[in-house]
Copies of this chain bind each other. A is one copy, B any other.
Amino acid sequence: MAKKPLTINDIAAQASVSNATVSRYLNGHYEKMSAATRARIQQVIDMTGFHLNRQAQSLKRRSSHLIGMVVADVENLFSSLLFKGTDQILAAAGYQIVLMNADNDLKVERQQLQRLLELQVDGIILQPVSATAANYAFLKQTQPVVDIVDRQLRGTNWPQVTTDNYRYSAQLTKTVARRGYNQLVVVTPPLGDNTARDDRYRAVTDLCEEKKFSRPLQTLTIQPDTTNAKLYQQLIAILKKRTGHTALYVLQGHLLLQVMTVLAENQIKIPEQIGLVAYDDWSLSQLMQPGITTIQQQPRAMGQRVATNVLRQLAGQSVEPLTMVESALHERDSLGTFAKK
């Protein structure tokens, strides 16, 4: 397997030109070169299957042309779209992405960031598992450009690209209230160290304090390993006690799919028996029956934006400390309309 790789010397010898000429050719400096010389060098390269060792090159230049990207959970379609947008911009500029999956685990994430430092990546794009900047202090003394995407880090100078979760969550909550619902039930993964989710929830509690709903807010916290049967028990316990019109607000895309499955399995009809809205990380809710009223994010646009920032920083230019990418409210068929009681 490990045959000795060809060097520039080998190519130069076979093409009967100097090493310097081959080097100029490989770097695209054709000025002092005849067409015949170019053709001869290319022919030797084609015949031998020679590849420039860019890793050795980058070592000389102190640039790896690698960008590390650590996503919180690669199974979330949001991550795929984030990667796609980032890759579109970076690949066009000659950078490759080393992708890592933190699997929502701060320890795993830390190991991965350490590995990226060892790899001497030029930049790191991080969708952080934690919202606490102190957890990332070890990155501060290091060389690469660091950019934060999607979830915010509190108390950091690294540029951040995110969306205004508070504003859009408030917009969605007001939509439910306007339709005449008396009670809102928030269904959410555990809150605490995820700014995106916390901001969404804070918008709801602020509006409930303003008495947007006649009945008090209920919150159903769902652990990641909750089975459909368990989720149904928890849902039904809340729904049995409801009076008037109740709507569920699911704070996260993956949980939305689970909630819809449980409602379907138990023949609970949307919107006839229960209203449903959601914050859609997955961009899939428009494909579900019935269409769900959601806030839809633009992960691909976020990826493009953070990649553009990284390239600017690598070129020594300044970037905005905080960039807000727009999301959008999509009203579909998962809410009824009632007279206020």
| Besides A2-B143, A288-B288, A289-B289, 18 other A-B contacts (C-beta < 8 A) | A1-B316, A2-B62, A52-B118, A53-B120, A54-B119, A55-B58, A66-B98, A74-B80, A74-B87, A77-B80, A80-B80, A83-B101, A87-B101, A96-B98, A96-B115, A97-B99, A98-B99, A261-B286
Residues of B within 8 A of A145 (CB): 1
Q: How large is the interface on A (under 10, 10 to 19, 20 to 34, 35 or more residues)?
A: 35 or more
CA distance A100 to B288 in the complex (A): 29
Asked whether, in the complex, the Cβ of A117 is within 8 Å of the Cβ of B257, the reply is no
* A79 interfacial by beta-carbon distance below 8 Å: yes
Q: A145 CB to closest chain B CB, in angstroms?
A: 7
Residues of B within 8 A of A51 (CB): 114, 117-118, 142
* A264 interfacial by beta-carbon distance below 8 Å: yes
CA distance A116 to B73 in the complex (A): 25
Q: A196 CB to closest chain B CB, in angstroms?
A: 19
Asked whether, in the complex, the Cβ of B66 is within 8 Å of the Cβ of A59, the reply is no
Asked whether, in the complex, the Cβ of A142 is within 8 Å of the Cβ of B49, the reply is yes
| 27 pairs, A vs B, C-beta closer than 8 Å | A1-B145, A1-B316, A2-B62, A5-B62, A51-B114, A51-B142, A53-B120, A54-B118, A55-B55, A74-B83, A75-B84, A77-B77, A77-B80, A84-B101, A87-B100, A96-B116, A97-B100, A98-B98, A98-B99, A99-B99, A257-B284, A257-B287, A261-B286, A261-B287, A264-B289, A264-B290, A264-B291
Given A49-B138, A51-B117, A56-B59, decide whether A143 and B99 contact each other with a Cβ distance below 8 A: no
Q: A93 CB to closest chain B CB, in angstroms?
A: 12
Q: 4 tightest A-B contacts by CB?
A: A49-B141, A264-B289, A54-B118, A99-B99
Residues of B within 8 A of A98 (CB): 66, 96-99
Q: Please provide the chain A residues from 97 to 149 with a CB less than 8 Å away from any CB of chain B in the complex.
A: 97-101, 112, 114-120, 138, 141-143, 145
Asked whether, in the complex, the Cβ of B260 is within 8 Å of the Cβ of A120, the reply is no
Residues of B within 8 A of A118 (CB): 51-54
Residues of B within 8 A of A49 (CB): 138, 141-142
CA distance A100 to B67 in the complex (A): 12
* A188 interfacial by beta-carbon distance below 8 Å: no
* A341 interfacial by beta-carbon distance below 8 Å: no
Residue of B nearest to A95 (CB): B115
Residue of B nearest to A288 (CB): B288
* A64 interfacial by beta-carbon distance below 8 Å: yes
Q: A313 CB to closest chain B CB, in angstroms?
A: 8
* A3 interfacial by beta-carbon distance below 8 Å: yes
Asked whether, in the complex, the Cβ of A74 is within 8 Å of the Cβ of B66, the reply is no
Residues of B within 8 A of A328 (CB): none
Q: A315 CB to closest chain B CB, in angstroms?
A: 11
CA distance A3 to B77 in the complex (A): 38
* A13 interfacial by beta-carbon distance below 8 Å: no
* A81 interfacial by beta-carbon distance below 8 Å: yes
* A91 interfacial by beta-carbon distance below 8 Å: yes
